[in-house]
Amino acid sequence: MLSGGTIEKDGNCPTILKFVEEFDISRYKGKWYTQYRTANKPILNCAQMDVIKTSKGYYIRNLSEHPKKNTPIINRFKIVGLNDTGVFNVSAIVLSESNTRELQTWIVDTDYKNYALQFSCAHLLKQKSLHDGLIVTRQRHPPEDLLARITLTVNEVGLDLADFQRVNQAGCIHKRHAPLTAPLKDNLGRMKNEDIITTEKISRRPTRKLAVGK
């Protein structure tokens, strides 16, 4: 979420017609590979999402690769407002009328073992909204019939499949990256609060780490 795949649309966030009841975050933990995501421009390759529990709570961490530079790009979000209804908030900074740092997220559908449809939305100024949808699977290269079944669900729940693009999962090279619990810093080397979006670019040379939305 919020990793090169958000789109801005006119109007408020859509009404989600379905989401997982009795959601179990402990079963949702682990690695997911992004197969489709919302986008209106070219998106990052090899996207994957890790859901991890730490002593400070649950986090979502995204890893993608730049399509031209083969540069890994990482960002991390803390899950807040967690409940068992399949709806929670992730901490994010968005331009909204309430100046909130929370982005509402729905687990629209999942069987925990194979696939999930996840959607986030935030109200923006001037009657617009920011949408971020993901179709993820436990396998990097899942069966096509599984993806076909999931994509049918998108329109059924009030979303628009035309807003989604297929993510390239071929030729992925970056498997080694910083630990999920590694502390994040801004571009001046200062420690950041864990509920602020931070994007890191990893290479063998000293890197610049940019805090987004500060």
**DSSP secondary structure string for all residues of 159-189:** --GGGEEEPP-SS--------TTPPPB-TTS
**What stretches in the chain show pLDDT beneath 50?**
1-3, 96, 176-214
- Residue 184 has which token pair? 């994040």
> What's the pLDDT score for residue 191?
33
Supply the pLDDT for residue 53.
93
**Separation of CA 125 from chain center:** 22
pLDDT for the residue numbered 163: 92
pLDDT tens, 62-83?
888 887 776 788 888 888 888 7
Which is it for strands 45-54 and 57-65: parallel, antiparallel or unpaired?
antiparallel
Domains and CATH numbers, the chain: 7-211 (2.40.128.20)
Give yes or no for a contact between 9 and 128, defined as CB atoms under 8 angstroms apart. Answer: yes
